[in-house]
Amino acid sequence: MRITVVGSINLDFVATAPRLPRAGETVTGARLARHPGGKGANQALAAQRLGAQVTMVGRVGRDGMAEEALALLLAGEVDVAGVVTDTTAPTGVALIAVDPQGENQIVVAAGANHSVMPEQLPARIETPLILQLELPVETVEAAVGRATEFVCVNLAPAAPVSDQLLRRADLLIVNETEAAFYGDLLHHGGGRVVVTEGAKGAVLYQRGVELARATPPKVTAVDATGAGDAFVGAICVALLEGMPAQEALRFACAAGALAATRPGAQPSLPTRAEVESLIG
């Protein structure tokens, strides 16, 4: 199975602290780590580790952070021929604070990700396609318009998009906050919609009718960063392989749960064997 991911590539700076700060507050005693991240790159590596052959389309800066940001994609044999080096904008960065329970706060400086324009895209995208909203919306819309196969759009972070995109997507994925932002618009097309609910699991709908519901296995959460991206990669792989809705949702919930048990976004993404072992 071949999949194209058009999306963001970041370097994550992760500070694990005794607790998350309130507005205007400084919390000391944190430990700092650097990990490759970005929703697009995370979902690309997640799908690759779960059995797909993935091509990544994105952008990094001409700086020292780019090599780190791409390191795990390259190690995981993701095809990065579609990744362009930008000569004017820096590599995207995410600043992440994590508490001992795995909850996080994230601020993203998009950098080169906001320079991914429609001109960088293939004229036709003839493989299944996964997208998020950490790129300019016009680029996401253009990619959807050039796709000839299955299209999944993870509507995160929430932003206004065209009705055409919502209707064209075969699969829309949102969390509870994003679901509230889009409301009934999510269900106006004929595609499927997944609403993730964190530790409570996820629900799959079609035309507003619930098709399946699953809860993740019990795990000890360390860092939720990347768990949602593991879910996206997993459910796309599962559905494209032809798994029934309930089985695909269960598989994706297990992948997300496993990602939450390890620190960092891309370092935490599970392999196919790990997911299948957890499901049992």
The residues that are catalytic are 229
Give the integer Cα–Cα distance in Å for 204 and 180: 16
Tokens 């779960």 belong to which residue?
50
DSSP state of 199: G
Alpha-carbon separation of residue 36 from 17, 91, 93, 138 (angstroms):
20, 11, 9, 25
> Could you write out the DSSP letters of every residue in 117-140?
-GGGS-S-B-S-EEE-SSS-HHHH
Helix segments in 101-244, DSSP class H: 137-146, 163-168, 176-182, 227-240
Q: Cβ(56)–Cβ(78) under 8 Å?
A: yes
Omega of the bond leading into 244 within 30 degrees of 0 (cis): no
